[in-house]
Amino acid sequence: DNIIFEQIPITNYYVWRFSGRANATRANTQLELFQKALSDQWIQVTATPILNQYNDPRTIPFMRTNERRIAK
C-alpha cells in the first residue's frame, strides 16, 4: 500500500563522471569543466545541472563515483 508507481518520460542526459569527494567546491569545479567540454563541442544546454553521488560516505575518496548530468 505504500508503493506508488509513476510513468515518467524518457530523458537523455549529457554526463560527466568524476571520482573523489564531491564537496561544494569540487562539484562546482567539475561542473565548470563539464560546461566547458560541452561548449567546446558547440553543445548548448539550458537545463539545470544535477549532482549524483553513488557511494556510502565511508567509501574512500578514490573509489567514489560521482556524476554531473544535464538533460539534453
Q: What is the pLDDT of residues 29-40, one digit of tens each?
A: 999 999 999 999
Count the Cβ atoms, other than its own, within 10 Å of residue 22.
22
Whole-structure pTM over 0.85, yes or no?
no
Spatial strand order in the sheet of 66-71: 13-18, 66-71, 50-53
The residue type found at 25 is T
Whole-number pLDDT of residue 40: 96
For residue 19, is pLDDT > 90? yes
